[in-house]
Structure 1
Amino acid sequence: MRRITRIATVGVASAALALTATACGNKSSSDAGSDSKEAGAAIAYDIGGRGDQSFNDAAYAGLAKAETDLKIKGSAAEPSEGESDADKVQRLTELARSGNNPVIGVGFAYAPAIKKVAPKFPKTTFGIIDDSSVTGKNIANMVFNEEQGSYLAGVAAAKVTKSKTVGFIGGVETPLIKKFEAGFAQGVKETDPSVKVLSQYLTQPPNFDGFSKPDLGKAAAQGQLDKKADVVYAAAGLAGSGSIEATAQAGKWAIGVDSDQYSQKGLAAYKDQILTSVTKDVADSVYNLIKSVKDGTPQTGEVRYGLDKDGVGLADSNPAYTKMADVVAAVEKAKKDIVDGKITVKTTP
């Protein structure tokens, strides 16, 4: 697979120009779809696109693994700035007509488009990450218990804060991102009720710049730092990189999201201040769906990834984190209590 050009902002290419590789087994452009065992696989990126060091890059990692392990060819399509649902419909249609199977929409924003496109390609499996609202016989809903991983981040934040003030930054105020906030705030408060949690969202729907503009994340983090926050957790996609930058430059602790951001090359300059990251196994969810199609038993319906199966978790790549024995112990205890049902994590703030 030819690599996709890295981007720093949304909108470097239209859907028609953003396909970066052709899939194998393209037998027909008919709406009937293609043979699931012969077709390649495709992903359509969310806001921020490839190179966000977070959500989209995790999806790409799953596709890349499938190419290597399963010997399939992949395609990928970038979002365009200010695009409509009609643009997403066109993108998914083009990917399916090119013979790709499965076709995966990275993010809940693809729900309306998949609802329209999936019935037209009954032999093609469509996957959607972070959404369970749209269903169908050929649709797999890959969803995560983000609130559980965020609870662990809250535990860690409450244990390391010295100012007794921590921050949460959400990219766009949607039900999905509120799950991150809810879990984080609960983890903080149940670990140390005296710690104050500052919460802020960068944009409101239908403005989704809060997932794609690093300057917004940087400004929000600076505002929280000015209010004495010494730990800042951002669930904001590409915008979160701005939050990490501001927090690291201030010598405070940043908590990453989706991918293990300590290990992301684009954030290497700030890695020492990335305490940990709330991870979602988006890569495996993409890989598992592709493998299921190749094996002839495609996943459909809800496929949930929670703390019990390490579908979400807390990264421990930073040596500074692993040396904090009391923090690690508190996080491990909280993880066990969640898995054992002793702690129920809220999904709304």
Structure 2
Amino acid sequence: MKKRKFGLALSLVLAAGTILGACGSDEGDSKKGDEKKKTENFKVGLVTDTGGVDDKSFNQSSWEGLKKFGKEFGLEEGKSYRYLQSEKEADYIPNLGKFADGGFNLTFAAGFLLEDAVQTAAEQNSGTNFALIDSLLMDEDFKPVFLDNVAAVTFEEHQGSFLVGVVAAKQSKTGKVGFIGGVDSPLIKKFENGFKAGVKSVNPDMEIIAQYAGDFNKPEKGSSIASTMYTQGADIIYHAAGGTGNGVFTEAKNRKKNGEDVWVIGVDRDQHEEGMPENVTLTSMVKRVDVAVYEISKMAMDGKFPGGKESLFGIKENAIGIAESQENVSKESLKLVDEYKEKILKGEIKVPKTDKEFAEFEKSL
């Protein structure tokens, strides 16, 4: 009798386990189904500035981050993730609108030049999320504007620029270096002032020549400015000029062919290849726009889009630093870079972003 009761009890337990297991399986399948549906229905786009998606710099890094995200989550390129290239400023708003009209969940705008266009598009398409890379939305009084469907993705470029400034000061043989910016703006001033601070921290007597091209897509202008700087004695030039910076590499390579010992410091991504075959890239200030694009895309897909606030990426987030290609950087320079990086992380050095902050920084040296 006891055996029969035990057998019955065991049967009931096994049956219950089977039912619960089936329920658990259904629940698991349901979750997987929801995840798959969430991924399949997610669409993300990128609108470039006029520098183009193959600028070997900022826009290209943005697209690389989006491609990594798309491939990792099985999205179809051209359908679920894609880019639209802006040939002129007038293309910004229409391109942003195309993604909104196409049902894209998130649209990235590559660069501060799209600031006004993003604000207009976001106000016209409240159901679409936008991410403005490199800038905050501003009102007429230059005060930040925060919209719930816009995430401001910014970087601490001045920190990385400081580090390549350290390398430039350590390895310059002429005691004179140059900086070429694209458009004179608060953003590019961060590159300039961070670089100058790094240079002066190593050698306060170093001479720095700085000039702006007024455009991010004029390589011939970059080449012309670089030619003047090299002629004036600068042996290292750091550019933060997008496609215009390609002209700096051209000028450096031409001079290297003629036996001159000149160098370029790249920007935004590792630009080692841009200096080949003459090998003129000393190092690059790596700004991992690709990391930021990937992270913001994933947050949006997971329902955690950081709209209405600023998302800041710097050394601490491994989004700012110097390039992995270091064959032309001396061991002494790398050691010094690590020392200064620690000082920045610990708050012992506050890297200047503006002309005023740099003037105060220079006085403290």
* 8 Å CA contact retained: 1:102, 1:289: no
Q: 1:143 aligns with which of 132, 154, 177?
A: 154
Q: Which amino acid aligns with 1:105?
A: A
The equivalent of 2:344 in structure 1 is: 338
The equivalent of 1:59 in structure 2 is: 62
The equivalent of 1:216 in structure 2 is: 221
The CA distance in 2 between the partners of 1:288 and 1:37, in whole Å, is 18
The equivalent of 2:318 in structure 1 is: 310
Please give the TM-score of this superposition, normalised by the length of structure 2: 0.79
Structure ID, larger Rg: 2
SS at match of 2:276: helix
The CA distance in 1 between the partners of 2:134 and 2:66, in whole Å, is 17
The reply to whether residue 120 of structure 1 matches residue 127 of structure 2 is: no
| Displaced runs of 4 or more, over 6 A | none
The CA distance in 1 between the partners of 2:348 and 2:252, in whole Å, is 33
- Shift, 1:153, TM fit: 0.9
* 8 Å CA contact retained: 1:62, 1:282: yes
* 8 Å CA contact retained: 1:39, 1:99: no
The CA distance in 1 between the partners of 2:176 and 2:130, in whole Å, is 43
* 8 Å CA contact retained: 1:70, 1:291: no
SS at match of 2:245: helix
Deviates more, 1:52-61 or 1:268-277: 268-277
SS at match of 1:96: helix
Q: Output the aligned Cα RMSD.
A: 1.6
Q: 1:115 to 1:291 in 2, by over 3 A?
A: same
Q: 1:274 aligns with which of 261, 271, 281?
A: 281
The equivalent of 2:265 in structure 1 is: 255
The CA distance in 2 between the partners of 1:119 and 1:243, in whole Å, is 39
The reply to whether residue 244 of structure 1 matches residue 249 of structure 2 is: yes
Q: 1:268 to 1:181 in 2, by over 3 A?
A: closer
The CA distance in 1 between the partners of 2:223 and 2:165, in whole Å, is 21
Q: 1:155 aligns with which of 152, 156, 166?
A: 166
SS at match of 1:319: coil
Identity in percent = 34
Q: Deviations over 1:71-123 (max 9, x none)?
A: 22212111123x33xx3222111111111121110001111111121133333
The CA distance in 1 between the partners of 2:127 and 2:278, in whole Å, is 44
* 8 Å CA contact retained: 2:151, 2:311: yes
The equivalent of 2:111 in structure 1 is: 107
Paired residues in the alignment total 301
The CA distance in 2 between the partners of 1:146 and 1:177, in whole Å, is 9
Q: How does 1:61-210 map to 2 (within 5 A)?
A: 61-72=64-75, 73-81=80-88, 83-84=89-90, 87-133=91-137, 134-203=145-214, 210=215
SS at match of 2:246: helix
Q: 1:235 to 1:100 in 2, by over 3 A?
A: same
Q: Which amino acid aligns with 1:110?
A: L
* 8 Å CA contact retained: 2:39, 2:73: no
The CA distance in 1 between the partners of 2:176 and 2:112, in whole Å, is 31
SS at match of 1:177: helix
Deviates more, 1:302-311 or 1:159-168: 302-311
Q: Which amino acid aligns with 1:142?
A: V
- Shift, 1:299, TM fit: 2.3
SS at match of 2:182: strand
The equivalent of 2:50 in structure 1 is: 47
- Shift, 1:173, TM fit: 0.8
Q: Which amino acid aligns with 1:161?
A: S
The CA distance in 2 between the partners of 1:309 and 1:166, in whole Å, is 29
* 8 Å CA contact retained: 1:146, 1:312: yes
- Shift, 1:271, TM fit: 6.5
Unaligned runs of at least 5 residues, structure 2: 1-37, 138-144, 257-261, 356-365
The equivalent of 2:359 in structure 1 is: none
- Shift, 1:51, TM fit: 1.1
The CA distance in 2 between the partners of 1:36 and 1:100, in whole Å, is 13
* 8 Å CA contact retained: 1:37, 1:295: no
SS at match of 1:296: coil
Q: 2:41 aligns with which of 31, 38, 50?
A: 38
The equivalent of 2:304 in structure 1 is: 297
Q: Whose helix fraction is larger, Structure 1's or Structure 2's? A: 2
The equivalent of 1:284 in structure 2 is: 291
* 8 Å CA contact retained: 1:232, 1:247: no
- Shift, 1:268, TM fit: 5.5
The equivalent of 2:32 in structure 1 is: none
Q: Deviations over 1:6-52 (max 9, x none)?
A: xxxxxxxxxxxxxxxxxxxxxxxxxxxxx997131100001211111
The CA distance in 1 between the partners of 2:212 and 2:312, in whole Å, is 26
